[in-house]
Amino acid sequence: MTGRTLLLAALLILSYRISTPLYGWGSATHAYIAQQIGKQQGTSNLNELYGSVLPDAFNVMFGDPYQDQLWTQTHYEFMKLVESAEFQLDEALAFGFASHNEAWGADQTAHISSITHPGQGYVIRKQNELAAILGPRIRLFLLLGGVSNASTVIDEVLPTVAHAAIETAVDLLVSQNEDPDIGRRLALAARTRGWSAPILLCKAYAADLAVTAGTTEAVAAPLIVAAENEFGLQIELYGTLLSQEDPVAALAEQGANLAMLLLAAELGIVVDIPANLMTEILSTAIDLVEDDYAAEIAATVTYVRAGLESHGVTKTPL
């Protein structure tokens, strides 16, 4: 949802003038959902966890003209990857991959219609609430920082900032309350993923990308491999940050430093971005979701499990 680097502050700047598809749930939440479902069909494993976040791999392709197409494929044409899995570890990754989708998977409850509050995705509803709160604060910050077109920047940036903050807030609460080990497992899943992920992505999507781009699979495949490699590094970093003793402070500090660099690179403006601004944004997001996120995630686990079963997506127990 984000889309996207997984760091909250990066989205503040990258979303300006860059159209990227929003993530749904955050990476740790997707991993947790897949883990809960996977346990019903045998021992949950790291390939499932990485597979559950892999549909967002192409969100790292900032400004690429084919990013939207690839995002749509991984979120709606996900069975292409599932059907490409031939080996046991590949099937585990594909099982996680299918759990993520926006048609009847976890992203459906995040983006389209939540289970506990039907009619609007959980993350979308919370994003709108957060944006209304953050708007005046961020506008003032930008004006004081010398950004003359603050209102225009706010209109383009705020939805993505709010969306990323909600995702991250839920991830933090999941790692604090539901599974304190999820960040470490997510980082380990990214670090040890092997070649299943890029190979399956290429099998599923390289041919279509080649046709759209007017090139060959030999050219399209390395683009997919490069995107997955960058994504894996980001997932490893994000999982590591979630595993810190004070993950909010770790995310805020990293985010503030990155946002300053990106603000200068994208807008040519040097603005000191304090870590406490990032902390404030994230703390407000946590306040908005802490009372009802657990019920929505539990309902999503049940919903996605039923979807996987009804569509014949299973895994071989390891």
pLDDT in tens, 40-87: 555 558 999 999 999 999 988 877 899 999 999 999 999 999 999 998
Mean pLDDT for the stretch of residues 231-238: 94
Q: Which of 168, 128, 174 is nearest to 278 (CA)?
A: 168
- 250 pLDDT tier (thresholds 50, 70, 90): confident
- Spatial distance between the Cα atoms of 124 and 163, rounded to a whole number of angstroms: 7
Predicted confidence (pLDDT) at residue 19 exceeds the cutoff of 50: no
* Residue the block writes with tokens 């979308």: 124
- 270 pLDDT tier (thresholds 50, 70, 90): low
Mean pLDDT for the stretch of residues 261-270: 60
Confidence (pLDDT) at 285:
94
Question: Taking a C-beta distance cutoff of 8 angstroms, is the pair 224, 202 a contact?
Answer: yes
Mean pLDDT for the stretch of residues 221-250: 94
Tokens of 77: 């044409």
Mean residue pLDDT across the chain:
86
* Residue the block writes with tokens 């919903």: 303
pLDDT digits (tens, 9 = 90+) for 272-318: 777 788 888 899 999 999 999 999 999 999 999 999 999 999 876 65
Q: Residue ranges per domain, the chain?
A: 8-310
Predicted confidence (pLDDT) at residue 264 exceeds the cutoff of 50: yes
- Spatial distance between the Cα atoms of 169 and 314, rounded to a whole number of angstroms: 30
Q: Which of 1, 282, 3, 17 is nearest to 157 (CA)?
A: 17
CA angle 89/1/53 to nearest 5° reads: 5
Confidence (pLDDT) at 132:
94
Question: Taking a C-beta distance cutoff of 8 angstroms, is the pair 289, 162 a contact?
Answer: no
User: pTM of the entire structure?
Assistant: 0.89
Tokens of 87: 């080996």
- Spatial distance between the Cα atoms of 77 and 91, rounded to a whole number of angstroms: 16
Residue type (1 letter), 83: E
Residues 183-204 as b/e (b if ≥16 CB within 10 A, e otherwise) read: bebbbbbbeebeebbbbbbbbb
The residues with which 5 forms a beta bridge, in sequence order, are 3
- CA separation (Å) from 288 to 112, 126, 276? 19, 7, 18
Tokens of 260: 């300053």
Confidence (pLDDT) at 202:
98
Sign of CA dihedral 85, 184, 58, 170: positive
Confidence (pLDDT) at 316:
67
Mean pLDDT for the stretch of residues 241-250: 90
Q: What are the start-end ranges of the E strands in the chain?
A: none
Confidence (pLDDT) at 147:
73
Mean pLDDT for the stretch of residues 231-244: 94
Confidence (pLDDT) at 295:
98
Question: Taking a C-beta distance cutoff of 8 angstroms, is the pair 191, 236 a contact?
Answer: yes
The percent of residues in the chain predicted with pLDDT above 70, rounded, is: 85
pLDDT digits (tens, 9 = 90+) for 137-181: 888 877 887 777 778 777 777 887 788 889 999 999 999 999 999
Question: Taking a C-beta distance cutoff of 8 angstroms, is the pair 297, 32 a contact?
Answer: yes
